[in-house]
A and B are shown apart, each in its own frame.
Chain A
Amino acid sequence: MKTAVITFPASNCDRDARMALEKVTGRPAQMIWHRESEIPSDVDFVVIPGGFSYGDYLRCGAMAARSPIVKDLVEKANKGLPVAGFCNGFQILTETGLLPGALLMNQGLNFVCKPQKLRITNTNTRYTSGYGSTQEVVYPIAHHEGNYYADDATLNKLEKNGRVLFKYVDNPNGSARDIAGICNEAGNVFGMMPHPERAVDPLHGGTDGLNFFKSIIESI
Chain B
Amino acid sequence: MKAIVQIGLKPGVLDPQGRAIARSLTDLGFEEVTAARQGKVIELDIKGEDAASAEQRVNEMCEKLLANTVIESYSVKIES
Contact = CB atoms under 8 A, between A and B. Distances in A.
Interface of A: 58-59, 62, 66, 94-95, 100-102, 104-109, 147, 149-150, 174
A105 B13 CA distance: 11
B66 interface: yes
Contacts of B13: 104, 149
Nearest to A109: B16
Interface residues of B, number: 12
B14 A66 contact: no
B70 A105 contact: no
A150 B13 CA distance: 9
B17 A105 contact: yes
Contacts of B26: none
A150 B14 CA distance: 11
Given A58-B65, A62-B65, A66-B65, A94 B16 contact: no
Contacts of A107: 14, 16
Given A59-B68, A174-B14, 5 more contacts: A66-B64, A101-B70, A104-B14, A105-B17, A149-B14
